[in-house]
Amino acid sequence: MLQDIIKEKLEEIKKLSASTKEELEKIRIEYLGKKGLMNELFAQFKGVPNEQKKEAGQMLNELKNGIQTVIDTLKEKIEQKQEELREKDDLTKPADTLSLGSIHPLTIVRKEIIDIFARLGYTVAEGPEIEDDWHVFSALNFPPEHPARDMQDTFFVENREDGNNILLRTHTSSVQVRTMEHTQPPIRIIAPGRVFRNEAISARAHCIFHQIEGLYIDKGVSFADLKQTLLYFVKELFGNQTKIRLRPSYFPFTEPSAEMDISCTICGGKGCNICKHTGWLEILGCGMVDPNVLKASGIDPEIYSGFAFGMGVERIAMLKYDVKDLRQYFENDVRFLNQFAGAI
Ligand code: PHE
């Protein structure tokens, strides 16, 4: 019966698929072409008994419309896919923009400092951030009751029965000890690294920051060598016009100890807000390595002497780039970071 065939075909057309225009054209010819299915069914329609003509006619129309809808939908899909491919293959289209990153200001300053000391024959040394009491304090001549060991400053990781507690290093001076333990002089190292102190975070302080340590040990090293080395360093980093001044200070691991100021990078020494009208800015601590430190690290203080210095990278970058709030280094705000694009 014609109706049965139509029913079957109505199911069949739901499953039709075509991925190219050629395949779709074949389908069109098969169903709607001159010698196609529809014409054949219309021919058969003439033989349908009169009382069934209405039902069969409606079904035929349904099938014809159904086929047309299927063909239209498939056509749309094929065209959409072709459009996508065309877009993908369009070699004349401008490329996606690649936004270049920038180098972090602390990285820039660290690299500059390392480069300057490399010219003086210093090589880079490293040590662990998780340290023990010996390398951070005891070997550096800190008396057992020294306040820097206090819980206020140091993040402790593990308390040991023998007293050699595990902690986060509070300064890079621990790398001095580690280096001297396994190297005999001459030693010329520069040690950049992260340090940790239990401090409230503010515009001027952070609990994580960066230091660069320097150490020079050899026969006959004097305070004059220290001064000349630091003067060279400062002139290279801040410009030839920069002056230095050393003020007596105290560190357990150096004797004598000093703090070094540079002439203000903003006003050149005349006095301004940045240098609090003194004309000077403090930038590092330094001194002659205490003989006790040499002894503790396995170096004979009767034969060798040396100097050490340590500086904060954040502070130097603040001076170099006029950064007012140290927290900006760690916030990853691209408006801040973008200013350093192409700086190196
Ligand atoms: N370690 C000292 C500090 O963190 C700096 C320093 C290093 C001073 C080497 C003297 C010699 O403040």
Bigger pLDDT: 1 or 130? 130
Average pLDDT over residues 305-312: 98
Bigger pLDDT: 287 or 6? 287
Q: Tell me the CA–centroid distance for residue 329 and ligand 1, in Å.
A: 22
Q: Which residue has the tokens 């703090």?
A: 259
Q: How far is CA 3 from CA 12, 14, 28, in A?
A: 14, 17, 22
Is 285 close to ligand 1, i.e. is its CB under 6 Å away?
yes
Put simply, whether the predicted model's pTM sits higher than 0.85 gets the answer no
State which of 171, 254, 290, 307 you would mutate to test the pocket of ligand 1, scoring each by most atoms of that ligand within 8 A of its C-beta.
Answer: 171
Q: Tens digit of pLDDT for each residue in 182-206?
A: 999 999 999 999 999 999 999 888 9
Please state the atom number of ligand 1 nearest to the C-alpha of residue 176: 9
Mean residue pLDDT of the chain comes to: 92
User: Which protein residue has the closest C-alpha to ligand 1 atom 2?
Assistant: 310
At residue 305, the pLDDT reads: 98
Q: Is 343's pLDDT higher than 70? A: no
Q: Is 152's pLDDT higher than 70? A: no
- In this structure, the number of other CB atoms found within 10 A of the CB of residue 76 comes to 10
Is 307 close to ligand 1, i.e. is its CB under 6 Å away?
no
Q: Is 226 in contact with 218 (CB distance < 8 Å)?
A: no
Q: Tens digit of pLDDT for each residue in 234-246?
A: 999 999 999 999 9
